[in-house]
Structure 1
């Protein structure tokens, strides 16, 4: 299951060795500068009104930094500077840079799972497997390519930096995200509408969709719905002529 969400050309998350915990610029986390304010005993990191807002801001900034510069090249000082904080302040919300990486992946996948569920729920009750797959493909393109959605690019390129203790949580949410794909592809395989076995189609679909991170440009004329249509044409056999009008167009998530 883990391999199916990442590009097939990338190594599986579990085959990667776990890195050491980040010690920003050679020191212990947060040692250079004290946090903005002491954390009250018993209060979880980043919880409570302003804390949650700041935590989410740090996650978004970190996701962008990890995508643009890479996990290794990004320091907590970089993230703090981008958010207008003191250099040690991110450790008020996250105990290490690795914990922040985990939060980026978990937060992003949780959002993607819920928006995928909403995209499917908007389909009419009569929608068949082909329509559901079209909705899944279009939704995934938006997750990959919409502004501010940097977490999947981070997941694809920075899996080796995820600590072993975080693997199970990411695997669980990723499996739940992929379950809808597994079910709809199985239906299409039963209908003889797949050009390859369902398991291979799923791997190839995710791999090629993730490839858009390297080449798609929103300034070009190719829209995401049009691009989703091309992917459907590549992987799914056309409907018989008598049923061609039955398919409903995919909707934006």
Structure 2
């Protein structure tokens, strides 16, 4: 009896779709709950301070049992770490948009200052308050990570300041100018109130006027 030489049928494996599989409804709900917790924590940390806010307070703010909070974060410390990172992520995202545009150095500096004020005093202000005033409660490893992110954020200002310095528009040493500028900007979180009748654009114009000196040669041309 002869054996058949007909080839066996080939089973073609179904191709896996590219990218990550879509999240399930439960995963989306869990992600939303986590974001709600982070936002509520940022607001409460600003209002009462990290030490003055309990996990019970945070859970209550999002309508959860206090124990349920630990399904999302191992501790209040970890939650603070996430709040601080979120603040810096938002700041870096805004800054990236500014730096992708092509402008002269003076315009870029103005937009960087405006972007920083938006992050510091706008809708992200609760997160940035944690960055400025609550990150001291983080552990050493966490503080080192945050310091690296802050360093990356501030370092992108240096080429802009150096360009202004080389053309005479900035008459202070660049590292000192950077420190003074961030001191002015961050200090506004302590006293700025929209009810004062001062807009963020007004603040931006004031800082630019203090930082940029128009060289005499350029004044003569105008």
Q: CA separation in 2, counterparts of 1:242 and 1:54?
A: 60
Q: TM-score, normalised by structure 1?
A: 0.72
Task: Sort the Cα spacing of 1:48 and 1:168 in 2 relative to 1 into closer, same or farther, 3 A.
Answer: farther
Instruction: Identify which of structures 1 and 2 has the higher relative contact order when contacts are C-alpha pairs closer than 8 Å and 6+ apart.
Output: 1
1:105 to 79, 84, 98: 84
- Identify the residue that residue 241 of structure 1 maps to in structure 2: 219
Q: Which runs of 5+ in 2 are unaligned?
A: 1-25
Distance 1:101 1:92 in 2: 16
Name the structure 1 match of 2:22: none
TM-score normalised over the length of structure 2? 0.82
CA contact (8 A) 1:60 1:148 kept: no
Tell me, yes or no, if structure 1 residue 81 matches structure 2 residue 60: yes
SS in 2 for 1:88: helix
* Whole-angstrom distance in 2 between the partners of 1:170 and 1:64: 20
State whether structure 2 residue 205 is matched by structure 1 residue 229. Answer: yes
Which sits farther off after the overlay, 133-142 or 197-206?
197-206
Check whether the contact 1:129–1:184 (CA below 8 A) recurs between aligned residues.
yes
Larger Rg: 2
Determine the C-alpha separation between the residues in 2 that align with 1:136 and 1:219.
24
**Among 114, 124, 142, the residue aligned to 1:138:** 114
Compare the two structures and name the one with the higher helix fraction: 2
Deviations along 1:27-55, one digit per CA (max 9) or x if unpaired, are xxxxxxxxxxxxxxxxxxxx931111111
Aligned-residue CA RMSD in angstroms? Answer: 1.8
Aligned match of 1:217: 193
Q: CA deviation at 1:242?
A: 6.2
2:8 equivalent in structure 1: none
Q: Distance in 1 between matches of 2:96 and 2:83?
A: 20
SS of aligned partner of 2:66? coil
Runs in 1 of length 4+ with deviation above 3 angstroms?
none
Deviation readout 1:46-96 (Å, 9 max, x if unpaired): x93111111111111111111110010111001001111101222111111
Cα distance between partner residues in 2 of 1:190 and 1:52: 48
Consecutive unaligned residues of structure 1, counting only runs of 5 or more, are 1-46, 245-253
Distance across 2 between alignment mates of 1:118 and 1:169:
23
